[in-house]
Structure 1
Amino acid sequence: MKPIKPAAEMTADELAVYIDHSVLKPEFTPDEIRHEVENAALYKCKTACINPSAIELAAPILAGTDTGICVVVDFPFGCSSTASKVAQTMITLEQGIQELDIVANLGWIRGGELKRVEDDLRAVIDPCHAAGVPVKVIFETDALTISQIKAVAEASIAAGADFIKTSTGFYTGTNMHEKTGASDEMVALMMECAAGRAKVKGSGSIRDRAHFLRLIDAGIDRMGIGYRSTPIVLGLVEAAPAGASALVEAGSY
């Protein structure tokens, strides 16, 4: 959705509602999770995006704030059985989450089994919608062709997806797959695929303020931002020099 004013003119609070603050690194300790969830609320992000095991840590921190809980299900590979995905979903819904992100099965997409992808996603989306929880469907876009991205977008929208989303940030692939995540070109393709029928979330490789503002001006609806990059894109701190370790966030969107 096109913003009502240029992103460069928005306050940090106005910009923060575009952000799912990513707290997904598997090596995070409980204290590190608490710290980053607190930061998500401090920055007034739309959500803190967390693994299911972190819900009990995040819920009391975010209670009474404007920041919700976005939980990932079957992340980052999307290869569990449908029954397992549904079970995971029902457990998270019982814990009072606000949003859910799920990964579409990469192998099924590449194998052309789009009806199977659609049915798999619908089994998760339907109970979420019954609970008033929107669902974002993640495509591992760095490993898909343009035609495959278009096909899974149609399957996801048919299944009822509220958002279609680029990348997990965890895919390493091979030398054949460049890790670009939410590049301007990929976000434009996803917006074309959505065609107003679903919102678009960009994730992966959004680490500088110029890129972040540019995507907002282009009409993106949400972005997954790695925990180190959130204060940078909001303009609260200066970016580290190119190549500095502070910006190395593999596996954090």
Structure 2
Amino acid sequence: MSPDKSAEQMSVAELAAYIDHSVLKPEFTVEDVGREVGNGVRYGCRTVCINPTAIEIAAPLCEGTSTGLCVVVDFPFGLSSTPSRLAQTRDVLTAGVAEVDIVANYGWLRSGRADRVEQDLRTVAEVCHEAGAEVKVILETDALTVDEVRAGAEAAIAAGADFIKTSTGFFTGTTQHEQTGASEDMIAIMLDAAAGRCKVKGSGSIRDRAHFLRLIDAGIDRMGIGYRSTPVVLGVDHDTAPAGAGY
């Protein structure tokens, strides 16, 4: 989106509306998930981004608040079969989630099979839209060349994606780029590839406030922020941020 004022001029509530508060660590206990989902709600984030098994914990905490549920599907590798991905998506949609983040098969993108990626993603996008949910397609950009990122963006857009997204935050292979995750260079490439046809979400390596604000000014639509970094990028004190961070 093109903001009507600079990020520096935005209130905490306006800034929090850009954030999917990431609560995805596989080692998290039930208590950890509840605490961090609660913090995402307290900060006033747009969504909390969770694994499917966390829905039962997160849904009651988000109910009646401005913070929605964003659930990841086939995460973090994106290697399940299309019928399996579709079943996983239908399962999480029964909980009334607002958004689904799904990983594109980036091995297929590296193989020049963007057509197959498009076909696979279309089935997921269709069921999400039937349920009134948005779908974000994670391209795992660190694993791809710029040309492959652009091909992936085209496939996702053709499939009906509402967002294209940079990273899972879990990729540990050799990066194709000097900067990883949601670098300013990669976000510029993603925004150019989207060309206004879908929204762009940056995720990975957004840990300081200056970077966060620059991406907003560049025109990004959403950002996945790790649970430790949310108060940092918002410029709030973790211990004193009020419910909804509406100040």
User: How far apart are 1:177 and its partner, in Å?
Assistant: 6.3
Could you tell me which residue of structure 2 aligns to residue 110 of structure 1? 110
Could you tell me which residue of structure 2 aligns to residue 49 of structure 1? 49
After the TM superposition, which residues 181-200 of structure 1 pair with which residues of structure 2 at under 5 Å, given as runs?
181-200=181-200
Could you tell me which residue of structure 2 aligns to residue 92 of structure 1? 92
8 Å contact from structure 2 (residues 75, 102) kept in 1: yes
Return the alpha-carbon distance in structure 1 between the equivalents of residues 148 and 175 of structure 2: 19
8 Å contact from structure 1 (residues 165, 201) kept in 2: yes
Could you tell me which residue of structure 2 aligns to residue 245 of structure 1? none
Superimposed CA distance per residue, residues 178-219 of structure 1 (whole angstroms, 9 cap, x where no aligned partner)? 561000000000000000000000000000000000000010
Return the alpha-carbon distance in structure 2 between the equivalents of residues 174 and 210 of structure 1: 26
Distance 1:82 1:49, change over 3 A: same
Return the alpha-carbon distance in structure 1 between the equivalents of residues 177 and 211 of structure 2: 21
DSSP-derived class of the 1:136 partner: strand
DSSP-derived class of the 2:13 partner: helix
User: 1:63 is matched by which residue type in structure 2?
Assistant: E
8 Å contact from structure 2 (residues 143, 174) kept in 1: no
Could you tell me which residue of structure 2 aligns to residue 215 of structure 1? 215
Instruction: Structure 2: state its 5+ residue gaps.
Output: 239-247
DSSP-derived class of the 2:235 partner: coil
Could you tell me which residue of structure 1 aligns to residue 141 of structure 2? 141
8 Å contact from structure 1 (residues 142, 178) kept in 2: no
Instruction: Structure 1: state its 5+ residue gaps.
Output: 239-253
Could you tell me which residue of structure 2 aligns to residue 227 of structure 1? 227
8 Å contact from structure 1 (residues 162, 198) kept in 2: yes
8 Å contact from structure 1 (residues 167, 181) kept in 2: yes
Return the alpha-carbon distance in structure 1 between the equivalents of residues 180 and 108 of structure 2: 22
Distance 1:141 1:175, change over 3 A: closer
Could you tell me which residue of structure 2 aligns to residue 150 of structure 1? 150
Indicate the percent of aligned positions where both proteins have the same amino acid: 67
TM score, norm. by length of structure 1: 0.92
User: 1:68 is matched by which residue type in structure 2?
Assistant: G
Could you tell me which residue of structure 1 aligns to residue 120 of structure 2? 120
Superimposed CA distance per residue, residues 44-97 of structure 1 (whole angstroms, 9 cap, x where no aligned partner)? 000000000000110011000000000000000000000000000000011111
8 Å contact from structure 1 (residues 172, 179) kept in 2: no
Q: Would you say how many aligned residue pairs link Structure 1 and Structure 2?
A: 238
Matched, 1:164 2:160: no
DSSP-derived class of the 1:26 partner: coil
Residue range with higher mean Cα deviation, 176-185 or 118-127: 176-185
User: 1:174 is matched by which residue type in structure 2?
Assistant: T
DSSP-derived class of the 2:15 partner: helix
Give the root-mean-square deviation of aligned CA atoms.
1.2
Superimposed CA distance per residue, residues 223-251 of structure 1 (whole angstroms, 9 cap, x where no aligned partner)? 0000000000000149xxxxxxxxxxxxx
Superposed structure 1 runs of 4+ greater than 3 Å apart? 174-179
Return the alpha-carbon distance in structure 2 between the equivalents of residues 223 and 207 of structure 1: 11
Return the alpha-carbon distance in structure 2 between the equivalents of residues 174 and 141 of structure 1: 11
Could you tell me which residue of structure 1 aligns to residue 244 of structure 2? none
User: 1:24 is matched by which residue type in structure 2?
Assistant: L
Return the alpha-carbon distance in structure 1 between the equivalents of residues 200 and 69 of structure 2: 18
Return the alpha-carbon distance in structure 1 between the equivalents of residues 163 and 207 of structure 2: 21
Superimposed CA distance per residue, residues 118-177 of structure 1 (whole angstroms, 9 cap, x where no aligned partner)? 011011110000111000000110010011001010000000000000011100103766
Return the alpha-carbon distance in structure 1 between the equivalents of residues 174 and 110 of structure 2: 16
TM score, norm. by length of structure 2: 0.94
Could you tell me which residue of structure 1 aligns to residue 72 of structure 2? 72
Return the alpha-carbon distance in structure 2 between the equivalents of residues 128 and 207 of structure 1: 30
Could you tell me which residue of structure 2 aligns to residue 81 of structure 1? 81
